[in-house]
Amino acid sequence: MNVSIGREFEEFVREKVASGDYASASEVVRDGLRILREKEALFEARIRSLNGEIQKGIDQAEAGQSRDGEEVLAELRARLLARMT
């Protein structure tokens, strides 16, 4: 597989190999792809977690376990004021 990465990345790869951090350009690219894969996996896990939290809120609201937004904000303001005094 041949890939064009542009001058900026070519120079970066050369610097990494020259520094001794990597033995070859292929190693640098493989490491970059591993990091990208890990980043995407973390992103997907975070999305699944957020979707679970959203569903939890929906389930609580449907079960009548929700509170009025203005009531919650008033309570938070009171707590903040209490901490400031």
Q: pLDDT of the chain along its 85 residues, tens only?
A: 889 999 999 999 999 999 999 999 999 999 999 999 999 999 999 999 999 999 999 999 999 999 989 999 999 999 999 999 8
Task: For residue 1, tell me if it sits in a domain.
Answer: no
User: What is the C-alpha separation between 31 and 22, in angstroms, rounded?
Assistant: 9
Number of domains into which the chain is organized: 1
Task: For residue 53, tell me if it sits in a domain.
Answer: yes
Q: What is the pTM of this model?
A: 0.69
Task: Provide φ and ψ at 71, rounded to 5°.
Answer: -65, -45
DSSP assigned state of 22 = -
Greatest CA span in the chain, whole angstroms?
A: 66
Task: For residue 76, tell me if it sits in a domain.
Answer: yes
User: What is the C-alpha separation between 29 and 22, in angstroms, rounded?
Assistant: 10
User: What is the C-alpha separation between 66 and 12, in angstroms, rounded?
Assistant: 53
Provide the domain limits for residue 20: 6-84
Q: Alpha helices, DSSP H only, in 1-85?
A: 6-19, 25-62, 69-84
